[in-house]
Amino acid sequence: MGKKIALGCLGVFLIVVVGGGYIGYNTLIKPIMGSVSQLQEINEKNNQIQNQASFTPPQNMELEENQVERFVNVQKSIRTGLEDRLAEFQEKYEEISEELEGRDPSIREMMGVFGDLVQLYGDAKQIQVDALNAENFSLEEYRFVQQSFYQALGVELFQFDIDAIAKAAADGNMDFNPEDFETMQQKMDEIPERNRELVAPYTENIDEWITFAWWGL
């Protein structure tokens, strides 16, 4: 496919970070992190995830069949839970994608986008938490499976999302290290053939589920 979605929930901000380095980060993301009250609520919901174990990706970066099955179940649960608001999520996703395509957004635009993202994401977060608990996912394992799943289908997602921002804000850790992001991306770019085989049956679901991934769900 070769399709690229430059944007997991924090992806839109990485445009600024990559383009402006730490200047973009310090002038945009850091102030927002300290001012958006919903971030605390999101982090509190993440603390409701029953499996809080750390997760280390395997050296070969291969997914297990059980992981894919559990991931698919989570997507189905999110789909059901968001039934009434799915159109709103999809419309916002398309609106932002069209507005930012082929140009660098202004800081004012980025701040507006972030506010919309956090509000919608906060409303849907409990649905995701319940789905993760039903499948015994930790957030770390889920993010690994999510990233691997879509990359095996030819879709690239940025690693960072609103969960990462919320945790950083709660921990008082405002530092962002682009090298950590780049290292993770390099590892994820080496897609095992086994992963392609496991996700192949779900190709038709990608257009709907990718909306969840873009929002960080």
pLDDT values of the chain reduced to their tens digit, one per residue, 217 residues:
444 433 344 444 433 334 444 444 454 555 455 445 667 777 888 899 999 999 999 999 999 999 999 999 999 999 898 877 767 766 766 776 676 666 666 666 666 666 666 677 777 889 999 999 999 999 999 999 999 999 999 886 654 456 766 666 666 665 555 565 566 556 556 789 999 999 999 999 988 888 788 777 8
HEC string of 165-185? HHHHHHHCCCCCCHHHHHHHH
Residue partners of 113: CB distance under 8 A and separation at least 6: 12, 96, 105
